[in-house]
Structure 1
Amino acid sequence: MYVLGIETSCDETAVAVYHSNRGLIAHTLHSQIPTHREYGGVVPELASRDHIRKLVPLIKCVLAEANLSADSINGIAYTAGPGLMGALLVGAAAARGLAWSWQIPAIAVHHMEGHLLAPMLEAEPPEFPFVALLISGGHTLLIEVEGIGRYRLLGESLDDAAGEAFDKTAKMLGLAYPGGPKLAELATFGRERFKFPRPMTDRPGLDFSFSGLKTFTLNALAATEQTQQDKADIAYAFQQAVADTLQIKCRRALQQTGLKTLVVAGGVSANQAIRAQLQTLTDRTGCRIYFPRPEFCTDNGAMIAYAGCQRLLAGQHQNLEIFARPRWPMEELLTI
């Protein structure tokens, strides 16, 4: 089965073709970073308009790269949420229109399920069951995964997600958009000078909170002369605090569930300091840790095509309605 995957949840337009036996055939992505940089963040209306301009050319491009015609596609998967409503509607409308025109089924895919399953695209994918840490700009989740569609929420962020905290802290430090990668780059020049708190690690539970860490950062910055070295030292301390917090919570989740496999995915999982800190769990717990390759950490069409393919193979599909949900709890996903 050839599945066309479409991702338009935020500021990246991505398309891929996945085959149920051959794996990933082709994928392409257009980033809107240059469009939003001058505004210091994503402008939803501009994001939607850019998806409209880029989506059809990208679909043609990926089909040509895969050397496939429309007649070869057996199903279409599209991101239906969570995300920006206007951006989601662009991908949903295009997918539903193509599915109707090509007389093939379409399936709405949960954006975070796509991230969760991204490591399955690798040559050595993890085996079920496992604990998944999903860290992105909008979500920080710990999930027990028994199989595709069989998820149990263990913990989540009570305020800002880890990626959102990175971006807001980067803005405090005067860094350009997108802030997360810029902060990580600045942190490489930092020294162990400040001691930041590890939020919510002094109490039981698997939930996260990063808003207080931002406030601590702001106060630490105000107490310095705000030189470039001051900012680098603060960036280092902030990043290490987030990495330690994530590691502590993941260790608890593995102990609580008794599982020995951890999957880490989402845009923030590309952060090398966080990867290195989570990798220490292999020594402390004997577990195995899986990360998607960097190009599949951020939003991409390959993960949507894979997730959609699994659900289409299980016989799931939507009717002709255009389905989009900017807020969509993973607990409401159908099992397979």
Structure 2
Amino acid sequence: MKPGVLFAILGGLAVLAFIAELVFGAVRLPVADALAALAHVGAPSNQTDLIVNAIRLPRAILAALVGAILAISGAAMQGLFRNPLADPSLIGVTAGASAGASLAIVFGGALAGFAGLSIVALAAFAGGTAAVVLVYALATRTTGTSVATMLLAGIAISALAGSLTSLLEFYASNQMLRRISLWQMGGLEGANWPRVGLMTIVAAAVLAGLPALSRALNALLLGESEARHLGFAVDRTKTVLIGLVALGVGVSVALAGAIAFVGLVVPHIVRLAIGPDHRALLPAAALAGALLLLAADTVARVAVAPTELPVGLLTALLGAPFFIALLRSTRDYGL
């Protein structure tokens, strides 16, 4: 498929998914009323305006940004590791964030947050950042940063963070244990305008920074030595890429919890559709990730209404069987 055709399809579907996010919920709104309410952002004049602008619009924007960041980060990590089964969690950010969030829930859940963020979100970001810094430090030598060592270090740090989370779960009360479990399932129910503002700033950096590395990622597909011979600063590319992925995924996980399979499935599907050229792959993955999480969050809110399903649970429940079927129907798993 030509990239332009895929962009047009994904863009149209993403707009429809965004509108559906505004329309559907515990209270279903007419499409015209939901769209008209967008003209009253910041000054709600009726209940529909309040529902759309205070609850559903920030949630829709947050879902789109988180989905885009997770998907483009997954595509970048697959290019860096030259493995279509890689995802952002390989550098330990998700496990570290989970450990940080669990620590906050067990020992500091009653503390006040900052700038619209809960102490759990702040601790999750701190935990994810600490894990990535440790992984990067373990993989870096005077001769450069080894991707293979980074992969092994990420597995080790993820296991260590996972054991810490399990230990905290063992000592947590029933209420704390439920909060930890719900956080690990992922969810966008905490969306508000301060969170959207923070996510927008981070998304601007990630969605502009990673595509700027497209040519370097294409060269890395040939191997690090070949990329150096072509004139690319391989070590600097790795550092910038890991930093952007850690920032984007760390903030995403802090604000929305652990949302599974978006960073793995979406880039893989997009690569099968348009090929491995990162100049088209990265922006297409971002658009597809936004579409997927918008659609998944809408389904999560209406499937068992008025109760909401955790969106991370839904993406894993639907993504895993789909990915298995995709692997069974595809013989070539290479990049």
Settle same-fold status: TM greater than 0.5: no
Tell me the TM-score normalized by structure 2.
Answer: 0.28
Tell me the TM-score normalized by structure 1.
Answer: 0.28
Which structure has more strand as a fraction of its residues?
A: 1
Tell me: higher relative CO, structure 1 or 2? Use CA pairs within 8 A at least 6 residues apart. Answer: 2
Which structure has more helix as a fraction of its residues?
A: 2
